[in-house]
Structure 1
Amino acid sequence: MLESLTNNKEFAQLMQKHTQEVIIHFFKEEQNFGILCKIEDVEFSPALPQDIISEFRPLTLFFLAGYTFETAHIKDDYLTFEAGFGAENFGSIVSVPLYSIMQIIVDETPVMINLSNQKIEQKPKKVVDKKGVEDSMATFLSNPENSRFVKK
């Protein structure tokens, strides 16, 4: 019975929505918190060096406080924040899909637990095709009538 619930897509969507609402509430209240999440789903930009990545466990705790908390926001079903890692404080932007957050923790106490086992398809991140933009601009500028729209 429990397995059919935790593997249910609608339940997963409900848990993701609840996770988002709890985090937004903490942002409004300026409440620092930790997230326990599945590291396999987390994205780092720039990518972390292998010696740092190898130290992470399958479930990893990130604590959002100070600068990390100030940079945190939710966009497109991802919790994103800036953090420093390792002895060198290697800076990276961390993107955690909301479905991957298993617990939200305040003062060492879990205040939200996500029991869902479902991965929810994320909206694809928009990728700008620079070549396409350049080609479009070249086509636009090839028409002498359009030169009046270009700032000099």
Structure 2
Amino acid sequence: MIKDIIENEDYKDLVSKQVKEVMDFLLLNDKEFSITGNFDAITFEPELPDVIKTQLPKYPLFILSNYTYSTIALNEEYITFEAGFGNENFGSIVKVPLQSVFQVILDESILFLNPVATVEKFNKNRKSNSMNVFKNNPNNKKFN
């Protein structure tokens, strides 16, 4: 089953290496690009204000160009960059684990797609919350 593959640690490591190699290639060739990533795994320093954070989708798009492109740092586990958010252009350093990079996009075309970014570990909070809502319904007590 696909779930057995995309949740396998060896496969996650393989995909992380592939994501890094693709981004290394683009950086080496001085190509600006974009990424989408699983929001649940992304961290911001400083933390984004709630008014901005709640506006971001599950897989936000980050356009890595101009100043943001010049701030990219890439290692074996993460890509980091500085970006501005909201009308105030609130500055934050974005840290995205490589295995949570869902897409690498070049010229509005998907260059790389990573199914590992959709694994359950990033969705635990959402899943447990919906399960609690389900269990709290008196009609569902028989499923406990």
**Higher CA-based Rg:** 1
Q: How many residues align?
A: 119
Tell me by how many angstroms 1:73 deviates: 1.1
Matches within 5 A, 1:43-82: 43-75=43-75, 77-82=77-82
Identity across matched positions, percent: 37
Q: Find the aligned partners of 1:68 and 1:46 in 2 and give their Cα distance.
A: 16
Is 1:36 the counterpart of 2:36? The answer is: yes
- Are the equivalent residues in 2 in contact too, given 1:6–1:118 (CA < 8 A)? no
What secondary structure is seen at the aligned counterpart in 2 of 1:58?
coil
Q: Which residue of 2 aligns with 1:109?
A: 109
Q: Is the 8 A contact 1:77 1:97 kept in 2?
A: yes
CA distance in 2, matches of 1:90, 1:3: 37
Please report how far the alpha carbon of residue 75 of structure 1 lies from its aligned counterpart in structure 2 after TM superposition.
3.0
Structure 2: gaps of 5 or more residues: 122-144
Q: Could you tell me which residue of structure 1 aligns to residue 89 of structure 2? A: 89
Unmatched tracts of structure 1, length 5 or more: 120-152
Distance change >3 Å, CA 82–CA 103, structure 1 → 2? same
Alpha-carbon distance, 1:2 to partner: 2.4
1:20 deviation in Å? 0.5
What's the RMSD between the two structures over aligned residues? 1.4
Q: Deviations over 1:13-42 (max 9, x none)?
A: 100000001111111111111111001111
Name segments (4+ residues, structure 1) moved above 4 Å.
none
Over 3 Å counting, the alpha-carbon distance change for 1:80 and 1:61 in structure 2 is same
Structure 2 SS opposite 1:99: helix
Instruction: Note if contact 2:79-2:97 (Cα within 8 Å) is conserved in structure 1.
Output: yes
Contact 1:72 1:80 in 2 (8 A): yes
Match of 1:27 in 2: 27
What is the DSSP-based 3-state SS (H/G/I as helix, E as strand, rest coil) of the residue aligned with 2:5? helix
**Aligned residue for 1:10?**
10
The structure in which a higher percent of residues are helix is: 2
Q: Which residue of 1 aligns with 2:99?
A: 99
Q: Secondary structure at the match of 1:111?
A: strand
For residues 45 and 4 of structure 2, the distance between their equivalents in structure 1, rounded to whole angstroms, comes to 36
